[in-house]
Structure 1
């Protein structure tokens, strides 16, 4: 495990999650300020919108509208830059808080959920991956998943890889032209690490934020090429368009009261050229 020195681009956050790079800025959700923010590499932080039921996963439609997961009421929202509207009600398919999301180039969204009341101490139950095609009602995409979390597209969009937190692995599916999923398989066994957010680099490796064990880069089959230790636990990550910066969401706390009290959340930058 290599300890790396990062550049802190933003601090004083509650619990940053769902980072996505877009038009020269990092966009992310901050759970307990109920805001979606953008952040430049120069450290300019802007609050873009409020989601009263707690924002999480982010992504964009082909026409540039922002999709936002609303966690507690289990809805998918759409923001056109001015107005926030409900796109889909996921509560009939999501048994727990909705969480991270991947939006495909055609606008199809894949949304994960907890499967049970994690924060209320309820016993673990398997969850599912929900698919929302443009203009269609939400539907079940994959079931029997152990806390589906971050997701990426690999192989020129032919493979969907999902971090299954509680199976401690990355799970892959073939992604059909109709957004169907097939041939479920293990893309990488993470050897006991708990994957949260993930992102894909230009060489096809996947960076995995694994709270409790650090940040790793893994290749198909499970080969780990990098193991990094940051100043505090990391929960999600994204890469800038030029491939030089790995932006990481970190926090020293996870409980809502502690996140609000201590505001230890940060966006930290790892210089990939220096690794």
Structure 2
């Protein structure tokens, strides 16, 4: 097997987040947005100027996606919210337990926002994966999850990839293109513990799976068969997620976390990083509601 290619991510912002997560490119205004999860803030980078802006949304904001009619859909601590430039509409809470919060999510090709949860102490089996439909209906998709993390669909919509970080792997689902139903769950990538913990993911136009490795200081690209094809060195211990952006989706952005950093740490943990891989990505599916 060919040795994986080696790439390096370059820092593009100062340290701007304590726990950066959930990057997504918003084509309506050519901004990369991501969250400072436990601060409840949405950050936005204008790549043309390098300016980063910050907006407070709620006590926790775990994941965001553009809405097809403008604005954003967000996962907040115990449910979902709809954002415009000026308003935050909190939808009814899905659960009341204060020890569990939302964690990461994405929209499917049918425009439905999926987001999964985790217990604050990462207790096994206490989390789930939920789906918000455009009409506001919420459905539980998976139960018995521990740390629901990365979720992404292939460009043709026929396969979805999913990470429960506690399992140390990336799983694949077959997708019914009419109903969006996920079936046939199976492991595709197993990450050795010494390489880090799989966290956020995205997929490129060739079907490559990009995986941020918490405690691994890297992002890995795997082929659809699970072979490691590229390693991105990130100069922080805790990359959290990755997403393609730019007008042609040629840039891969990587968010990072300062959680667990020692007092006085002067590393760039909490900054946003970027690289240009050989294969581009594609637009994230927007929320249809």
Q: TM-score range by the shorter chain?
A: 0.7 to 0.9
2:225 aligned partner: 221
- Relative to structure 1, the CA distance from residue 12 to residue 128 in structure 2 (aligned partners, 3 Å threshold; closer, same or farther) is closer
Determine helix, strand or coil for the equivalent of 1:140.
strand
| TM-score when normalising by structure 1 | 0.85
Unaligned runs of 5+ in 1: none
Unaligned runs of 5+ in 2: 280-289
**Cross-structure match for 2:271:** 266
Other structure's SS at 1:217 match: strand
The range that moved more, 230-239 or 263-272, is 263-272
Range with bigger deviation, 210-219 or 84-93: 84-93
| Root mean square deviation, CA, Å | 2.9
Tell me if structure 2 keeps the 8 A contact 1:172–1:185. yes
TM-score, with length taken from structure 2: 0.81
Q: Deviations over 1:83-103 (max 9, x none)?
A: 110234221699721111112
8 Å contact kept, 1:162–1:172: yes
After TM superposition, give the deviation of residue 258 of structure 1 in Å: 6.5
Counterpart position of 1:209: 212
Aligned length: 266
Q: Which position in structure 2 is the counterpart of 1:174?
A: 174
Taking a change above 3 Å as real, the CA distance of residues 244 and 128 of structure 1, as seen in their structure-2 partners, is same
Distance change >3 Å, CA 144–CA 246, structure 1 → 2 = same
1:150 equivalenced with 2:150 (yes/no): yes
Contact 1:9 1:41 in 2 (8 A): no
Return the alpha-carbon distance in structure 2 between the equivalents of residues 183 and 10 of structure 1. 42
Match of 2:251 among 234, 245, 248: 245
SS of the counterpart of 1:231?
coil
Deviations along 1:109-130, whole A, 9 cap, x unmatched? 111001x332xxx743342211
